[in-house]
């Protein structure tokens, strides 16, 4: 089975056609930025310590940087992070809606993060599928 490639915009390197790591990287970094930005405002709402929250932001940033068209294992981790993000932030969005209402900023931040991770899940699965269909 032949693998389709496209030439990268930044160089002459070829990358698989079904690689969406650049999009995943941007989504993960946006989520990490949002989480870090709003952390001081929601320390009383989140179920983990500030240190754990910062470690999660750090890990998300690291994995966004590690995303590569050449490393299959990182694409698997991207899928796992995306699934975990959709579940976690989706759960807390619904919980915040039930506890505080739609006017709560905590609800909206969790809702936005769950949507970001849902989109990253879509692109992560497409990348994963591209790796396994080679």
* Closest listed residue to residue 77, CA positions, set 21, 29, 130: 21
Question: Is residue 13, in this structure, part of any structural domain at all?
Answer: no
pLDDT of residue 69: 84
Grouping H, G, I as helix, E, B as strand and the rest as coil, residue 118 is: helix
Quote the Cα angle for 119-123-124, to 5°.
110
d(CA 13, CA 8): 6
- pTM for the complete prediction? 0.84
**Token pair listed for 119:** 């989109």
Question: Is residue 5, in this structure, part of any structural domain at all?
Answer: no
Q: How many CB atoms lie within 10 A of CB 91?
A: 12
Strands (E), 3-50: 5-7, 14-16
Question: Is residue 51, in this structure, part of any structural domain at all?
Answer: yes
The count of structural domains within the chain is 1
Question: Is residue 110, in this structure, part of any structural domain at all?
Answer: yes
Domain containing 102 equals 20-132
pLDDT of residue 3: 44
Question: Is residue 1, in this structure, part of any structural domain at all?
Answer: no
Question: Is residue 127, in this structure, part of any structural domain at all?
Answer: yes
**Token pair listed for 83:** 């699934």
List the pLDDT tens digit at each of the 134 positions of the chain. 344 545 455 555 556 667 888 999 999 999 999 999 999 999 999 989 999 999 999 999 999 998 888 888 998 999 999 999 999 999 999 999 999 999 999 999 999 999 999 999 999 999 888 888 86
* Closest listed residue to residue 79, CA positions, set 134, 21, 120: 120
In angstroms, the Cα distances linking 40 to 37, 44, 50, 97, 106 are 7, 9, 9, 20, 12
Question: Is residue 3, in this structure, part of any structural domain at all?
Answer: no
Question: Is residue 2, in this structure, part of any structural domain at all?
Answer: no
pLDDT of residue 12: 55
């Amino acid at each position: 089975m032949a693998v389709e490639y496209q030439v990268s915009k930044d160089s002459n390197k070829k990358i698989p056609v079904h690689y969406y790591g650049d999009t995943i990287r941007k989504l993960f970094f946006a989520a990490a930025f949002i989480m870090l930005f709003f952390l001081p405002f929601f320390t009383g709402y989140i179920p983990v310590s500030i240190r754990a929250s910062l470690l999660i932001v750090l890990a998300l940033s690291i994995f966004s940087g590690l995303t590569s068209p050449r490393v299959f294992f990182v694409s698997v981790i991207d899928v796992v992070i995306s699934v975990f993000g959709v579940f976690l932030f989706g759960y807390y969005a619904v919980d915040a809606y039930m506890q505080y209402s739609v006017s709560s900023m905590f609800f909206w931040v969790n809702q936005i993060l769950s949507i970001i991770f849902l989109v990253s899940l879509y692109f992560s699965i497409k990348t994963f599928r591209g790796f396994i269909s080679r």
